[in-house]
């Protein structure tokens, strides 16, 4: 039965990591504009600077 305890702690840890990642995404403003990036990636001639969403603070 000990194996279940090990498995559960692994699964919980992974789940918590994902929750943390979600929190990080939310903070960095990834959900503020959900339309423009979808269009931007299709432009042939892309502006050379990389996405700067996370620079905003």
Partner 1 sequence: MEIETEQQQAVQTKCFHCGQDCEETHWLDEKVFCCYGCKTVYEILNANNLCEYYKLDDRAGISMRQAHDEDFAFLDESDIRKKLISFDSDTFAKITFTIPAIHCVSCIWLLENLKKIETGVIHSEVNFTRKIVTIDFNPQSVKLSRLAGVLKSIGYAPQITLESKEKKNPVLTNALIFKLALAGFCFGNVMLFSFPEYLGLDETDPLLIRIFSFLNLILATPVFFYSGFDYLRSAAASFKQKQINIDVPIAAGLIALFFRSAYDIIANTGPGYLDSFTGLVFFLLIGRWFQSKTYESLAFDRDFKSYFPLAVQRLDGDAWKPVIIYDLKPTDRIQIRNMEIIPTDSTLVDDYAFIDYSFVTGESKPVKAKQGDKIYAGGRLIGQPINLIVEKSTSQSHLTSLWNNPVFGKVNESKYKKIIDRAARRFTWIVLGVAAVTAVYWQLTDASQMWLVLTSVLMVACPCALALAAPFTYGNMLRVFGRNQFYLKNSDVIERLAAIDAVVFDKTGTVTHGDKPEVEFIGKLSDEEQAIVKKLTSASTHPLSTIIAASILKSSRESISEFKEIPGQGIQGTIHQKFIRIGSPSFVGVMPLSDPQGSIVFVSINHEVIGYYHIRTSLRKNIKGMINRLGNKIDALLSGDRDTDASLLRKMFSPFTFLFFNQSPHDKLDYVKNLQLNGRKVLMVGDGLNDSGALKQSDVGIAVTDHAGIFTPACDGILNGEKLGSLDKFMALAKSATQILKVAFVISFLYNGVALGFAVSGHLTPLVAAILMPLSSISVVGFSAVAVNFVANKKLK
48 close to 23: Cβ distance less than 8 angstroms: no
Candidates 3, 6, 13, 31; binder of partner 1 (CB under 8 A) is 31
Are 30 and 52 spatial neighbours (Cβ–Cβ below 8 Å)?
Answer: no
Size of the site for partner 1 (CB under 8 A): 27
To the nearest whole angstrom, how small is the minimum distance from the Cβ of residue 10 to partner 1?
Answer: 13
The CA-based angle 30-28-51, given to 5 degrees, is 65
Contacting positions for partner 1 (CB under 8 A): 1, 4-5, 8, 12, 15, 19, 22-23, 26-27, 29, 31-36, 39-40, 43-45, 47, 49, 52, 56
């Amino acid at each position: 039965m000990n194996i279940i305890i090990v498995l559960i702690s692994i699964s919980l840890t992974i789940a918590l990591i994902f929750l943390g990642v979600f929190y990080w995404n939310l903070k960095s403003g990834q959900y503020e504009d959900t339309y423009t990036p979808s269009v931007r990636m299709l432009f042939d001639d892309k502006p050379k600077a990389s996405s700067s969403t996370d620079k905003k603070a």
